[in-house]
Chain A
Amino acid sequence: MIMKHRDYYLTIADTLLILGQRLSEWCGHGPAIEEDIALSNVALDYIGQATALYKEVSEKAGEGKSEDDYAFLRDAWEFKNLLLVELPKGDYGYTIARQFLFSTWYYHFLEALHNSKDEFLKGFAAKSIKEVKYHFQHSRDWMLRLGAGTEESNSRMQAALNEIWEFTGEMFINSKAELEAIADGTGVDNAKLLDVWQRIVGAVIQEAELTLPSDAWMQKGGKEGKHSEHIGFVLAEMQFLQRAYPGSKW
Chain B
Amino acid sequence: MVNADDIWKFLEEVEDPEIPILNVVEMGIVRDVQWREVHNNWVVTITPTYSGCPAMKTIEEDVMQCLADHGLNEAKVETILSPPWTTDWMTAEACEKLRQTGIAPPEKNSADKGLLMGVRKEIKCPRCHSKQTTMVSQFGSTACKSLYKCNDCLEPFDYFKCI
Contact = CB atoms under 8 A, between A and B. Distances in A.
Interface stretch (B3-11, B15-23, B76-84): B76-84
B116 A141 contact: no
B65 interface: no
Contact of A48 (B52, B115, B139): B52
B84 A41 contact: no
B140 interface: yes
A134 interface: yes
B81 A124 contact: yes
Chain B interface size band reads 20 to 34
A185 to B, nearest CB: 18
B137 interface: yes
Given A44-B52, A131-B163, A137 B138 contact: yes
Q: State the majority secondary structure of interface residues on B.
A: loop
Contacts of B84: 123, 126-127, 130
Interface string A106-141: 010000000000010011101110110110111011
Nearest to B135: A141
Contacts of B85: 127
Nearest to B120: A137
B116 A47 contact: no
B143 A126 contact: no
Given A34-B147, A107-B116, A126-B84, A134 B52 contact: no
Interface residues of A, number: 32
A128 B143 CA distance: 13
A182 interface: no
A137 B113 CA distance: 11
Q: State the majority secondary structure of interface residues on A.
A: helix
Interface string B103-119: 00000001000011010
Given A123-B81, A127-B82, A137-B116, A37 B52 contact: no
Contacts of A41: 52, 139, 142-143
Contacts of A107: 116
Contact of A34 (B81, B137, B142): B137
B51 A123 contact: no
A43 interface: yes
A91 B135 CA distance: 24
B147 A127 contact: no
B52 A122 contact: no
Given A134-B138, A137-B138, A140-B118, A127 B161 contact: no
A58 interface: no
Nearest to A141: B138
A52 interface: yes
Interface string A33-59: 011011001111111110110000000
Interface string B37-68: 00000000000101111100000000000000
B51 A49 contact: yes
A44 B54 contact: yes
B153 interface: no
B92 interface: no
Interface string A127-157: 1101101101110110000000000000000
B154 interface: no
B115 A37 contact: no
Of A45, A49, A134, most B-chain CB atoms within 10 Å:
A134
A130 B52 contact: no
Nearest 10 CB-CB pairs, A to B?
A: A123-B82, A44-B52, A48-B51, A34-B137, A48-B52, A127-B84, A38-B139, A45-B52, A130-B163, A41-B143
22 contacts: A34-B137, A37-B140, A37-B141, A38-B137, A38-B138, A38-B139, A44-B53, A48-B50, A51-B51, A122-B82, A124-B81, A124-B82, A126-B82, A126-B84, A127-B82, A127-B84, A131-B52, A131-B143, A133-B163, A134-B115, A134-B163, A141-B138
